[in-house]
Structure 1
Amino acid sequence: MKVSVIMGSASDKPVGDKVIKVLEEFGVENELRVISAHRTPYVAKEFAENAEEKGTEVIVAIAGKAAHLAGVLAGISPLPVIGVPAKSSTMDGLDSLLSVVQMPKGVPVATVAIDGGENAGLLAVQILSVKYPELREKFKAYKVRMAEETIKSDEELNQK
């Protein structure tokens, strides 16, 4: 099982690192690359055409500003693509969010929040868990831990 995390720019690395951290916590093989839909379109095309053959099962695409990376990859690859709009210098990332979420019919991109690297990683794990039962069990355990932590926080807050 492998997730390819593709960033439009090296400046997206803090968000990419959040995705990678989640994937590694679940034991999912991953790669982190910089491929620009605009500066290296032929590299993007080659990646999207060959990702499945090279073992990728889910693509996470992080981009800001015009944020066309997720749509370009989804337009070429048959693999699920999760788009992560990155906060840019313009409009606090709203421009990126709108670019990622407004895909034409037939080119689906699952979209998470602006800079939502953690949720992108978790969604990739959930997608993979359909095929890999061991991941499904790890994800169920994660949900239990998250609930327990929330209950503990609530109890601590109410004790004061």
Structure 2
Amino acid sequence: MQNPQVSIIMGSDSDLPTMQGAIAICQKFEISHEVAIISAHRTPERMVEFAKTAHTRGIKVIIAGAGGAAHLPGMVAALSPLPVIGVPVSTRQLSGVDSLYSIVQMPKGIPVATVAIGNADNAGLLAVQILASHNPDLLQQVITYRQSLAEMVMEKQDKLDELGSEKYLLQM
């Protein structure tokens, strides 16, 4: 995609199913984005070059997903002046808790916004909100999206009121 505003990166192609949520959100809000596999451990020079130059290419926000040692978000944040949103990817051994701890425990001065384990959708939404802070049209789209979430909850409440809890559960 030309002139991407959001860069969605991950340490391995095995992270792509998780990171697809951020990609889908960017598509939903028509945010130009790029997607790349950049391993902090296996392609460190590529990671350094990416992080140091992303802002010069027009990137505004970086979403970085990683599992296990999960160094990618923190290392990119250490090298880039851009906001970085970390997505802890679930692991077989520790269910992503290791990833979460690796991403969220950043030293003072090098922040990484961190979403819940496996919740790349929220990372995408946070990136959209960051961009919307300087874009009134995008801000209105965020407001409309939030209203649709509220309407969805109220529709579920109406259905629960109509059916009662037992019948509602049977239809879930």
TM-score under structure 1 normalisation?
0.98
Contact 1:16 1:32 in 2 (8 A): no
Give the alignment partner of residue 75 of structure 2, picking from 63, 72, 81.
72
What is the rounded CA distance, in whole Å, between the counterparts of 1:98 and 1:119 in structure 2? 18
How many residues end up aligned between the 2 structures?
A: 160
Q: What's the C-alpha RMSD, in Å, of the aligned pairs?
A: 0.8
Q: Does residue 116 of structure 2 align to residue 93 of structure 1?
A: no
- Residues 47-67 of structure 1: per-residue CA shift (max 9 Å, x gap): 001101111100000000000
Over alpha carbons, which structure has the higher Rg?
2
Shift of 1:21: 0.3
- Residues 54-94 of structure 1: per-residue CA shift (max 9 Å, x gap): 11100000000000000000000000000000001221000
Shift of 1:131: 1.4
What is the rounded CA distance, in whole Å, between the counterparts of 2:63 and 2:51 in structure 1? 12
Q: Find the residue that maps to 2:95 and give its secondary structure.
A: helix
The residue aligned with 1:158 is: 161
Q: Which runs of 4+ in 1 moved over 2 A?
A: none
Shift of 1:26: 0.5
Matched letter for residue 12 of structure 1 = D
The residue aligned with 2:169 is: none
Shift of 1:138: 0.2
Matched letter for residue 26 of structure 2 = L
User: Between the two proteins, what is the percent identity of the paired residues?
Assistant: 49
- Residues 99-156 of structure 1: per-residue CA shift (max 9 Å, x gap): 0000011100000000011100000001111111111000000011100010001111
Matched letter for residue 141 of structure 1 = T
Equivalence map 1:5-154=2 (5 Å): 5-154=8-157
TM-score under structure 2 normalisation?
0.91
What is the rounded CA distance, in whole Å, between the counterparts of 2:96 and 2:86 in structure 1? 13
What is the rounded CA distance, in whole Å, between the counterparts of 1:82 and 1:90 in structure 2? 23
Q: Find the residue that maps to 2:55 and give its secondary structure.
A: coil
